[in-house]
Amino acid sequence: MPLVRTSLLALAALALSACAVTDTTTAAVPVTRSADARPAAELRLGYFANVTHASAVYGVGAGVLADALGGTTLKTQVFNAGPAAVEALFAGSIDAAYLGPNPAVNGFVKSRGEALRIVAGATSGGASLVVREGITAPAQLRGQKLASPQTGGTQDIALRSWLADQGFRVDADGGGDVVIRAQENSATLSEFQAGRIAGAWVPEPWASRLVLEGGGRVLVDEQDLWPDGRFVTTHLVVRTEF
């Protein structure tokens, strides 16, 4: 089943109140409900304005998600990266969110498995390390400044892991052989154009914008690091209390 269709079914399932009987016949995930269960009054959904969140961006913009939810009102909030969305889930200010695997796992571990559940996949692929022209090898990154969307986010972890594999030392405080700045993707584009950073590990469309609008080049396409070029970029995650 296509990932977009799966996440739509999962969202519709989330709108049902949880009670007693498990029904697995029509949804992407098991739905627990009683005969007199009522749909939730609203679903507060978080997502990012990225191509890697296309199922949410399109679903919200075209009204597909609202239609799938029926009588449940859809309210949305846009985030820059996963850790902020996880904090919103913890705080109860949103009920579900599209986010990457690292924040999802971190949130699960931080809450000792109590706060979050992954209910559907949404996107595979769509992230790259883009650097300025002239940088053609990892060794040239020593002493440079790179950016990621947010510390602890999926692209941030991918960048740190790759740098470690290249023999670089990095730390969470912005020190080490390569400095990593966690910042808004729009700020990353501006700083890249101004020459204040040497590159960034970002999702689409920001990777392409760094190339097309910033004159950069792709040093690492993340799909080249994974078997068969497939890696999870986005899940649909829900608060267990919802």
DSSP per-residue codes, 146-195:
EEESSTTSHHHHHHHHHHHHTT--B-TTS-BSSEEEE--HHHHHHHHHTT
Q: Domain 127-228 belongs to what topology?
A: D-Maltodextrin-Binding Protein; domain 2 (3.40.190)
- Contact (CB, 8 A) for 131 and 219: yes
Other Cβ atoms within 10 Å of 175 Cβ, number: 11
For tokens 């449940």, the residue is 72
What the block records as the tokens of 215 is 């004159």
Distances (CA, A) of 224 to 12, 102, 116, 219, 221: 35, 19, 30, 11, 6
pLDDT in tens, 29-58: 444 444 456 788 999 999 999 999 999 999
- Contact (CB, 8 A) for 180 and 174: yes
Res 123 pLDDT > 50: yes
Lowest mean pLDDT among 21-30, 54-63, 68-77: 21-30
Q: pTM score, two decimals?
A: 0.79
Q: What is the model's pLDDT at position 127?
A: 96
**Average pLDDT of 170-196?**
94
Q: What is the model's pLDDT at position 58?
A: 92
**Average pLDDT of 196-206?**
97
3-125+231-239 matches 127-228 in fold: yes
pLDDT in tens, 145-155: 999 999 999 99
**Which is more confident, 2 or 162?**
162
**Average pLDDT of 156-166?**
96
How far apart are alpha carbons 31 and 157 in whole angstroms? 33
Q: Spell out the domain ranges in the chain.
A: 3-125+231-239, 127-228
Distances (CA, A) of 24 to 13, 29, 120, 239: 10, 7, 14, 20
CATH code for residues 3-125+231-239:
3.40.190.10
